[in-house]
Amino acid sequence: MRPTFSPRRFRRYRTVARILARHGFGYLLTQLGLGHLVPRRLGLVATGPQGRPYTTAEHLRLALEELGATFVKLGQILSTRPDLLPPEFIKELSRLQDAVPPEPFPLIRDLLERELGRGIYEAYAQFGEEPLGSASLGQVHPARLHTGENVVVKVQRPGVERTVEEDIAILMDVARLASSETVWGQIYDLPGLVREFATTIREELDYYREAHNAERFEKNFANHPALRVPKIHWTYTTRRVLTMERLYGIKINDLAALDRAGIDRRQLARVGAGIIVKMVLEDGFFHADPHPGNFLVAPGPVIGLLDYGMVGELSEDTRRSLLLLFLAVIDRDMDRVVDRLSELGVAGSYVQMASLKADLERLIGHYYGRPLQEIDVGQVLEESLQAARRHRLQVPTRLALLGKTMSMHEGLARMLDPRFNLVEVLAPYARELAIRIYSPRQWLRRLVPTLIDVTNLAITLPRRFERLTAQAERGQLSVNMRIPEAEHYISDLNRMANRLIVGMLTAAFIVGLAILLGSTQPRPMAQLFGWLIGLGFIASSVLGMWLLLAIWRSGHH
């Protein structure tokens, strides 16, 4: 079923189709029945500045950059999903640049004054017109409050929300088309992935949420002097404007400056890794955008953390399941490994369990018996997610995001100290978490609600059983069962039956017209019969053409 185009959105559809087709992805649009949106004449971007043809992965990156903010964010999130895309695409999408030319200052000033409800120099004593940084969703300006505090002001680009919502609607249309028209769309829950992406980008557009994220990190690390979180100035913060303390320091990837400042890079690597492991295993709330520009280093070493728009969250049950998965891997118990994967939501209707177990055996056997110093956590996570893609497992976004975050942090730490090993930092936290999970106090805390549930079940079960047997005796007992995979086939059968009925009706029209033509004699009613025959001919022609078109389109799909 084709999406319904509103006049406002149709132009954006055409732009998206044109850019994708120019980069060689027109065949995907044709598969989805959107080939009519592709211009008939277009030039293919075939050769890059390096003098060789672009690869398919490079074409995808270039197309997403050309499509703008929403698609750049989509590509960045897809770069965290080795379970969905091959390695060459992951590597290329990781290069996506979120730096674009800044908006003209008068537009930024107008938005800022509307949001704050006051003039720019009523709110700030000084305000830098040149931004410190400019991204697809917003840009950051230096400023100073009337109290003398130096701050940074993050301002959302005017009109970006409307563009994002239009692009999300287009992505949802395409996801639904792919789910109904293609095999690969039926394997993965594409509408679910779009919904998760929509939630992520909408949260990034809500600066109130980002401010609350920063305060949550500040609370979690109140007794951890190695991490510095900027103070939020709520008086000058709205949904589209965020004012926070300005932090100073050396960028974490400026190794020469770190050495000149006398900062021990080996110690810094361990401190940074300890921070992320605490976020994941102890707090269940972690910073999910760990590129070097978000870390400033001061003597101590103290790490200043920037940009709280993208975060990940893990429930206590998820952290417990991850720990049990880790223990099952150590024991090389494949049945328990598969059970833990299912518990974490890693499931799919196309999974071949025997093949999955064999693949996991090979993966774990590759690292089994090695010293901790030789195990690369990032590589293990990446290989695990690639195995998930091969077996069509549906990895929850939060776990894919965790894997990418841990891998990036390990890479950052090894840039500081080539001998760094994340497992050495991870192991003590894992032991501590295991002790906490299996302590008598935790068992008691979890046992009390279970006992309440069992008691309620024991009280209500006889009454429910009596109602069930009474319904069975009266012949009123029914069982409702829903098989998601069957809905697609039922829909196909419905379409086939509808086309068969249309074909029969068309044939009946033609036969009826032939009989009427043969029996029509010159009489006063002849003119009326002529009109009826003409209308019948038109109706049968329209039905026949519709049927032929539907059959032709289904053959191409």
Positions annotated as catalytic residues are 289
Bridge-partner residues for 347, per DSSP?
A: 394
End-to-end CA distance of the chain: 12
The torsion angles phi and psi of 117, rounded to 5 degrees, stand at 70, 25
Q: How far apart are CA 288 and CA 189, in angstroms?
A: 23
Q: Are strands 295-298 and 302-305 parallel, antiparallel or unpaired?
A: antiparallel
Task: Name the token pair of 31.
Answer: 């598969």
Task: Name the token pair of 512.
Answer: 């009826």
CB-CB neighbours of 14 under 10 Å: 14
Nearest to 60 by CA among 88, 37, 82, 84: 88
Q: How far apart are CA 357 and CA 329, in angstroms?
A: 12
Q: How far apart are CA 72 and CA 167, in angstroms?
A: 11
What DSSP element (H or E) covers 33?
none
The torsion angles phi and psi of 232, rounded to 5 degrees, stand at -90, 135
Q: Are strands 227-228 and 302-305 parallel, antiparallel or unpaired?
A: parallel
Bridge-partner residues for 244, per DSSP?
A: 152, 232
Q: How far apart are CA 102 and CA 131, in angstroms?
A: 7
**Is 231 strand, coil or helix?**
coil
What is the distance, to the nearest Å, from the Cα of residue 141 to the centroid of all Cα atoms in its chain?
29
